[in-house]
Structure 1
C-alpha cells in the first residue's frame, strides 16, 4: 500500500509541475497586465517569471525527470507482483515474467501519461492565466529551494544557447499581427462585437493608407473663380451644396483661399448678389502632401484646427481636397450610414458596379483578395486595370485577377468612370483563360 501511495503522490506532483510549466509559458501578458493593474500580486509575479524563465524551466525539468525515474522504479516493483498473479491465470510458461514486466511498464506509463501529463497540460492550456496565478508562488519557492541544481543546469543551457548565438531570455513584443489575431479570436467567440472588430480594424488601416485613397480628386473639385458672376456662383452652390469652396485666380493651382457657402447665402438673403471678394476669403489654407498617411492627416487636422485641406503633389500642383469628414468616413466604415454617392453598388451575389476611383484597399476587403499585383504602382481600381492593360482602357475592356473579371463599362474621355466586377465560376474562368491563350 505504501508503494501505491508513493505512485499516487508522484503522479500528483508530476501533474502539478506539468500544469505549471504550460500555464506559465502560455499565460498571455496582455491579460496578466490587466489583472496585475487590478492589484493582483501573483499576476505580477507571473509577469516577472516570464521575463526571466530560465531558472524556472530548469527546476521544472529537474523535478519532472526525477519524478519519471522514481515512478519507473517504484511502479515496476509495485505492479509486477500483481501482474504476475494475473498472468498466471492464463499463462505459466517461460515468458511469464517478461510479460508481467511489460504489462507493468504499460500500466505505469499509461497512468503517468494520462494523469501526470496529458490531462494537466490540457487544463493549463484551457485557462493558463488562472492556473499560473495559483501556482506561481509555489514554483518560485521550489526554484529557490533547488538553487544549486538550478544554477548548474541553467548555466550549462545558457552556455549552449550562446554558442549557437540564440537569446537566453524571451523578448515579447506585441505586434499589429498579434493584436489582429486576438481581435479575430474575440470576434469569433462573441466576446468582441462585430462592429467593434471592424472599428478597430479600420483604425489599423489609417497608418497604411495615403490621402489619395479617400480624397476628392482634382477632376471632381468644385471651385470658384474670382471672375465668376452671381448666377454662376449660385448655380454651383445649388448643384453642389458643400460647406466650403476653393477660390482661385484663373486656374485651380492659383489658389487665393476658401469661402463658406453661408457667406454667399448671407449676401443673397440681404438682397444683394453673390460675389467674391478678397476680404471675404479665408486665406489660411491647410496644404497636405499626397504621400501623407491618414493617421498623419488626422494629426495635421488636429494641429491646424480646421476641417478642410488641399492635397498637393511634389510639384505643388493641386491633386485633390480632403475634409475631416472624409477621414471619419474611412474610420467608421459601414458602421454609420452616409447619404453620399456610393462607390460600390452590389448588383447580385457575384457582381458589383464600382466607381473607378475606389481605393484598391476597399476592393481587397470587398472581394477578400489578399493582394493585387504590384500594388505600389496604383491606388485605385481604375489604376489597376490601366496597369494590367499597359494602356488606357476602352469600354468593354477587361482583365482577370484571382477569380474575378474586372471590366470597364463607363469611360469618360480617358477616365475610367465605372467598372463591373464579376465573380467567375471555376470552369468559366478556365474556359475564358484558355480562349485568351488561343487568341
Structure 2
C-alpha cells in the first residue's frame, strides 16, 4: 500500500502539494468570510452607497437580491476547496507516514478548517460586514456569474426535492412585517447604545401612526371641557379665557348634542369688532362647524386629514354616531415627540411615585403615556388606560382593596367610583429595564 502511494506521488512535489493545501484553506476562509459578510451587510447602508454612485455597493445589492443563488455559489466554492484540500493533505500524509496518514489528515484538516477557514474569518466578517462585502463583491459576482447555469440546476433540483416533501419556497419567508422588523431593529440599536431612548421613541411613534387609532389617543368625553352654547355671551367668554385650550366644543339642549367648536381667537376678534359689547356677540355665527371622525380612523389617516383640511380639532364618534371624545393634531404629534406643553398647559396629573418604589396612578392615565414616563412596557393592545388593563386582565370590574399580579407588576385597587377604577397602586415585582 505504501509502495502504491509512492508510485502515485513519485512525480508530485510534496512542497507544491503543501502549498495547494494552504491555498485551499485560504480560499475556504475567503468563501466563509464572504458568506458571513454579505448576509450580515446593512441593506440600508448599501442602498445609500449605491445612490451615491458606489459600483461595489450596487454589486452587493445585486447579490443580495439573488440571495439563494449567492449562498449556493459560496457553498459550492467552499465545498470544492475543502474537499480538494483534504484530498491533497491525505495524499501527502499517506505518502509520508503510510496508512495512518488518513487519520492524521483528518485531524489536521479539521483543525485548520475550523480555526482558519471558519471561526477566524467569520469573526472578522461579522465585525466588519459592510467593509468586507464591498471588497469581495466583484470576485463573488464573477464567481456567481461563471457558475450560474450549474447553480440554476442545483437550485431547481433543491426546489423539486423540497416540493416533494411539502415545503414551498417563499411561503412564510418573512416572519415579521416591515413594521415589526423596523421597530425591532431600532430596539436592538437602542440596546446596543447606538440610538438614544428619545430617538427610539420618536421613530417608534412614527411607525405606530399606521397601527394606532384615534380612539387610542383621544381625550375621552368624560374629560372634555365643553361649553353650553345657550349661556350668556359674557359667561362664554370667561369660560374660554379660563380654559387652557384654544378650541372648545359647544353643545345645546343636552351635553352630548354638539353644534359647533369655538376658537378663542375667533371669539376675541368678534368681541373686538363688537367694541367689547357682549350683547352684540352671536355665538352661533362665531362657532365653527363641528367635524366628526370615526374612532376606527388610524392616526396616519387622521394626520393626513388634518393637513388637508388645515384644521387641528375633530370630535370622535363610535359606530352609532355617539361622541366618544375629541382628538387634536397635538395629540397625534405627541405620539411621536412625547408630551408637548407650553406655559398655558396643565401639568400631567395622575402619576405619583412613592418612596417605597410603588407608583400611585389614576385609572384614566393612558398606558402609552405611563410607559413613556416610567419606562415600562405594559401591553396596550387590549386596553387604552391603566384601569382598562386591570379590568381586561381580571375579566371583571374589581373592588377596592383587590390585588392582582401580572406582566411583572403588582396592581392594588385603592379607590373605585361606581364602575370606574379611580386610583391604583402599581408596584414592579420584577426588575424593569429602562427603555
Asked whether the two chains share a fold, i.e. TM above 0.5, the reply is yes
Whether the 8 Å contact between 1:162 and 1:168 is mirrored in structure 2 is no
Structure 1 regions of 5+ residues with no counterpart?
85-96, 427-439
| Residue 358 (structure 2) aligns with | 351
1:346/1:352 contact within 8 Å kept? yes
How do 1:40-189 and structure 2 match up within 5 A?
40-79=54-93, 84=97, 101-147=102-148, 149-163=150-164, 164-167=166-169, 175-189=178-192
Measured in 2, the distance between the counterparts of 1:30 and 1:396 equals 53
1:249-279 deviation digits (Å, cap 9, x = unpaired): 2113322212223454453894433775255
Q: Which residue of 1 aligns with 2:6?
A: none
TM-score by length of 2: 0.81
Q: Deviations over 1:75-95 (max 9, x none)?
A: 13334566x5xxxxxxxxxxx
Partner Cα separation in structure 1 for residue 421 and residue 300 of structure 2: 29
Contact 1:213 1:380 in 2 (8 A): no
| In the alignment, structure 1 residue 227 sits paired with structure 2 residue 230 | yes
Q: Which runs of 5+ in 2 are unaligned?
A: 1-14
TM-aligned CA distance change 1:411 to 1:277, over 3 Å: farther
Go from structure 1 to structure 2 and tell me whether the alpha carbon gap of 1:230 and 1:411 turns closer, same or farther (over 3 Å shift). farther
Equivalent position of 1:299 in the other structure: 304
2:409 aligns to what? 404
Q: For the structure 1 residues 398 and 297, does the alpha-carbon distance in structure 2 shift closer, same or farther, using more than 3 Å as the test?
A: farther
Q: Give TM-score, length-normalised by structure 1.
A: 0.80
Q: How many Å separate the matches in 2 of 1:323 and 1:15?
A: 59
The answer to whether structure 1 residue 28 and structure 2 residue 42 are counterparts is: yes
**Count of residue correspondences:** 410
The Cα offsets for residues 398-424 of structure 1, whole Å up to 9 and x where unpaired, read as: 443344333333445554333222334
* d(CA) in 2 for partners of 1:223, 1:168: 55
Aligned-residue CA RMSD in angstroms?
3.3
Task: Mark the CA change 1:222 to 1:185 in structure 2 (over 3 Å): closer, same or farther.
Answer: closer
Match of 1:206 among 206, 209, 220: 209
Mapped partners of 1:79, 1:287: distance in 2: 85
Output the CA distance in 2 between the equivalents of 1:98 and 1:167: 46
User: Which range moves more in the overlay, 288-297 or 149-158?
Assistant: 149-158
Alignment of 1:333-344 (within 5 A): 333=338, 339-344=346-351
Q: How does 1:344-383 map to 2 (within 5 A)?
A: 344-348=351-355, 350-363=357-370, 366=374, 368-369=376-377, 371=379, 376=382, 378-383=383-388
SS of 1:259's partner is: strand
Note if contact 1:404-1:422 (Cα within 8 Å) is conserved in structure 2.
yes
- Give, in angstroms, the shift of residue 199 of structure 1: 0.8
Q: What is the deviation of 1:289?
A: 1.4
| Equivalent residue, structure 2, for 1:252 | 255
Match of 1:190 in 2: 193
Give the conservation status (yes or no) of the 8 Å contact 1:252–1:318. Answer: no
Tell me the secondary structure at the aligned position of residue 212 of structure 2.
coil
Secondary structure class of the residue paired with 1:252? coil
Whole-angstrom CA distance in 1 between matches of 2:189 and 2:135: 25
Q: 1:5 aligns with which of 19, 22, 32?
A: 19
Match of 1:435 in 2: none
- Cα distance in 1 for residues equivalent to 2:26 and 2:394: 69
